[in-house]
């Protein structure tokens, strides 16, 4: 071992008040586990002595509770970027305790390298192995770890022995050069290798290695229900129709699919439909359903930035590791989400909306325009550059008290220009080539819940009275949101005529 082993407490003590910390990992896996917890304890100790201690936290994407919960509960976070999906962090962001910068996940790595977010004082990354030369073999995710290791002044490595020797060879680490003179990203098919299997680190920067032996804990998904199943089926039926009419090439196109239940339902439906060929995935997060479909030979190959798998699926992967290393690649999120790659490969992107409006604008992040849920993540990286960008949402939320289809979204994350297909359990709206008035008709007719159709038609009628390109009534655009905020039920909306 080229580096010295140290305790998590020793590692934490190398971090100072006001530091910017880069935390490795992605989608709650492959994140360091021991040092953030020790850092939280260290922060609380300093606070109890009346000393200030807060850090800025830059990650690849979501982290587990070992990072966000621990550090937020210790009131040790001043700044957070680019994504989180953690209850305590979310509350702190919405309380204004943590300043949160919500960025496209393809951009955060280059933002760090370009110096837009200042210096990274300390990087903390999880390794599954360290080579004799001292190179880091990452664990179950890549995220922006290679960039953090490259630019941070100090590097703390957690060596997680739970993955020892399993993952070597599954990573493909490539970081683009700086502009203006650089070559293309040398990936032309989903399974092309562009980089190395490990990350070189300047040994002088390594604070030490902390041993751990703990698998990632991922949140359980609730089982599919009728609504999510119907959404999945609607997506599959739509893609089959496009495929059969020749609008998707014979080889099919690589698929990107977001995270969560709807994504699982979409994959399940695509996998079950044998009229579609087996396909490849070029995606961000590799979920359980991907492994299932690989075992059934419905997914040929997957490239992503994290193995966000439950224990049984990780076991399944490890039990078949020799074959799986030919069929799975883990890449930096800058590459999995890169506009160059998504456009070149012709990705079909399926992402989830929090709400959509009748013109096709999508809100992915804000409840009632103000409360942050998680962040934009990679949804717009994919939607903006995809061959086909599909957004899905159940037509209602909160047992029908909220319509996910509204006259005017309270916040926009993907604009009408980037949303080609909208799918709810009610049906599919194909927005390509349609004017706003035509889109509104198509979405109300096909996607809105019956409880809300009349309300939405009323809005459209009163707005169209004014005769403009996009029928919008300034006085009524947010009335459905106001009705929910003030009465708890969007069905109580009263438009001003």
Q: Which of residues 195-254 bind a copy of itself (CB under 8 A)?
A: 246-247, 249, 251-254
Count the residues of the shown chain that bind a copy of itself, applying the rule CB under 8 A.
Answer: 86
Strand partners, 338: none
Report, in Å, the least distance between residue 445 CB and a copy of itself. Answer: 17
Report, in Å, the least distance between residue 384 CB and a copy of itself. Answer: 6
Report, in Å, the least distance between residue 273 CB and a copy of itself. Answer: 19
Among 4, 17, 196, 438, binds a copy of itself (CB under 8 A): 438
Angle made by CA atoms 416, 418, 421, in degrees to the nearest 5: 85
Binding site annotation covers 19?
Answer: no
Residue whose tokens read 């297909």? 421
Pick the stretch among 4-12, 32-40, 62-70, 102-110 that binds a copy of itself (CB under 8 A).
Answer: 102-110
Q: Which of residues 136-195 bind a copy of itself (CB under 8 A)?
A: 178-185, 188-190
Q: Active-site residues: which are they?
A: 284
CA dist 106 → 23, 125, 130, 376, 395 (Å): 16, 19, 27, 11, 29
Q: Which is nearer to a copy of itself, 114 or 318 (CB)?
A: 114
Pick the stretch among 1-9, 141-149, 199-207, 415-423 that binds a copy of itself (CB under 8 A).
Answer: 415-423
Q: CB under 8 Å to 157, separation ≥6 — which residues?
A: 3, 125, 126, 127, 130, 136, 201, 206, 208, 209, 210
Q: Which is nearer to a copy of itself, 182 or 275 (CB)?
A: 182
Q: Give the total residue count for the chain.
A: 497
Report, in Å, the least distance between residue 121 CB and a copy of itself. Answer: 15
Report, in Å, the least distance between residue 472 CB and a copy of itself. Answer: 4
Range list of H helices, 273-306: 288-295
Report, in Å, the least distance between residue 277 CB and a copy of itself. Answer: 12
Q: Which of residues 342-401 bind a copy of itself (CB under 8 A)?
A: 343-346, 361, 366, 368-372, 376, 380, 384-385, 387
Q: Which is nearer to a copy of itself, 123 or 190 (CB)?
A: 190
Binding site annotation covers 50?
Answer: no
Q: Which is nearer to a copy of itself, 288 or 337 (CB)?
A: 337
Q: Which is nearer to a copy of itself, 247 or 497 (CB)?
A: 247
DSSP string, 429-445: EE-TT--HHHHHHHHHH
Q: How far out from the chain centre does Cα 76 lie?
A: 24
Among 417, 454, 465, 494, binds a copy of itself (CB under 8 A): 417
Q: Which is nearer to a copy of itself, 211 or 371 (CB)?
A: 371
DSSP string, 354-382: SEEETTS-EESSEETTTEE-S--TTHHHH
Strand partners, 123: 22, 155
Binding site annotation covers 427?
Answer: no
Q: CB under 8 Å to 67, separation ≥6 — which residues?
A: 23, 25, 31, 32, 36, 57, 59
Burial class, 217, CB count within 10 angstroms (exposed 0-12 / middle 13-18 / buried 19+):
middle
**Buried b vs exposed e over 451-466: b needs ≥16 C-beta within 10 Å?**
ebbebbbebbebbeee
Q: Which of residues 307-326 bind a copy of itself (CB under 8 A)?
A: none
Structure-token pair, residue 94: 């919405």
Among 378, 413, 423, 442, binds a copy of itself (CB under 8 A): 413
Q: CB under 8 Å to 17, separation ≥6 — which residues?
A: 46, 51, 52, 53, 54, 55
Pick the stretch among 38-46, 63-71, 122-130, 410-418 that binds a copy of itself (CB under 8 A).
Answer: 410-418
Pick the stretch among 43-51, 69-77, 394-402, 405-413 that binds a copy of itself (CB under 8 A).
Answer: 405-413
CB-side neighbour CA atoms (13 Å) of 388? 24
Q: Which of residues 471-490 bind a copy of itself (CB under 8 A)?
A: 471-472, 474-475, 477-478, 481-482, 485
Report, in Å, the least distance between residue 112 CB and a copy of itself. Answer: 11
Q: How many CB atoms lie within 10 A of CB 434?
A: 17
Pick the stretch among 111-119, 156-164, 261-269, 320-328 that binds a copy of itself (CB under 8 A).
Answer: 111-119
Report, in Å, the least distance between residue 44 CB and a copy of itself. Answer: 24
Distance (Å, whole) CA 304 – CA 171:
10
Distance (Å, whole) CA 323 – CA 255:
21
Q: Which is nearer to a copy of itself, 208 or 369 (CB)?
A: 369
Q: Which of residues 36-95 bind a copy of itself (CB under 8 A)?
A: 79, 81, 93-95
Q: Which is nearer to a copy of itself, 126 or 418 (CB)?
A: 418
Structure-token pair, residue 417: 């220009």
Distance (Å, whole) CA 307 – CA 325:
13
Pick the stretch among 126-134, 150-158, 302-310, 340-348 that binds a copy of itself (CB under 8 A).
Answer: 340-348
Binding site listing: 374, 378, 398
Binding site for CoA: which residues? Answer: 374, 378, 398
């Amino acid at each position: 071992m080229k580096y010295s082993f140290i305790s998590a407490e020793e590692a934490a003590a190398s971090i100072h008040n006001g530091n910017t910390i880069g935390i490795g990992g992605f989608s709650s896996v492959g994140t360091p586990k021991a040092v953030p917890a020790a850092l939280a304890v260290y922060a609380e100790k300093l606070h109890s002595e009346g000393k200030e201690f807060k850090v800025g936290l830059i990650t690849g994407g979501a982290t587990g509770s070992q990072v966000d919960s621990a550090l937020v509960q210790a009131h040790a976070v001043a700044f957070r970027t680019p994504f989180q999906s953690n209850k305590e962090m979310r509350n702190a962001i919405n309380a204004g305790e943590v300043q949160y910068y919500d960025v496209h996940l393809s951009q955060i790595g280059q933002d760090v390298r370009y110096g837009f977010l200042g210096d990274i004082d300390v990087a903390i990354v999880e390794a599954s192995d360290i080579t004799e030369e001292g190179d880091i073999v990452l664990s179950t995710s890549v995220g922006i770890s290679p960039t953090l290791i490259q630019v941070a002044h100090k590097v703390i490595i957690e060596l997680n022995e739970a993955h020892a020797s399993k993952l070597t060879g599954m990573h493909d680490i490539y970081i683009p050069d700086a502009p203006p003179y650089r070559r293309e990203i040398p990936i032309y098919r989903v399974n092309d290798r562009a980089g190395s299997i490990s990350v070189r680190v300047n040994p002088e920067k390594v604070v030490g290695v902390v041993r751990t032996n703990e698998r990632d804990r991922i949140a359980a998904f609730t089982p599919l229900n009728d609504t999510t199943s119907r959404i999945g089926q609607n997506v599959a039926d739509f893609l089959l129709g496009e495929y059969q009419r020749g609008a998707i090439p014979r080889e099919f196109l690589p698929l990107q699919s977001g995270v969560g239940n709807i994504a699982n339902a979409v994959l399940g439906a695509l996998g079950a439909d044998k009229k579609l060929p087996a396909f490849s995935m070029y995606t961000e997060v590799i979920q359980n359903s991907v492994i299932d479909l690989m075992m059934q030979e419905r997914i040929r190959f997957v490239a992503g930035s994290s193995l966000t798998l439950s224990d049984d699926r990780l076991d399944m992967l490890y039990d078949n590791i020799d074959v799986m290393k030919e069929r799975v690649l883990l890449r930096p999120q800058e590459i999995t989400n890169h506009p160059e790659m998504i456009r070149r490969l012709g990705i079909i992107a399926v992402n989830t909306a929090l709400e959509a409006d009748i013109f096709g604008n999508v809100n992915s992040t804000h409840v009632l325009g103000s409360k942050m849920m998680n962040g934009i993540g990679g949804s717009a990286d994919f939607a903006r550059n995809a061959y086909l960008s599909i957004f899905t949402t159940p037509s209602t939320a909160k047992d029908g008290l909220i319509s996910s289809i509204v006259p005017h979204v309270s916040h926009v994350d993907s604009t009408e220009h980037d949303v080609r297909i909208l799918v709810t359990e009610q049906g599919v709206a194909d927005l390509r080539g349609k004017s706003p008035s035509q889109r509104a008709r198509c979405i109300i007719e096909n996607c809105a819940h019956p409880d809300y159709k009349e309300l939405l038609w009323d809005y459209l009628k009163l707005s169209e009275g004014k005769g403009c390109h996009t029928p919008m009534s300034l006085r009524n655009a947010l009335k459905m949101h106001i009705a929910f905020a003030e009465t708890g039920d969007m069905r109580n909306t009263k438009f001003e005529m």
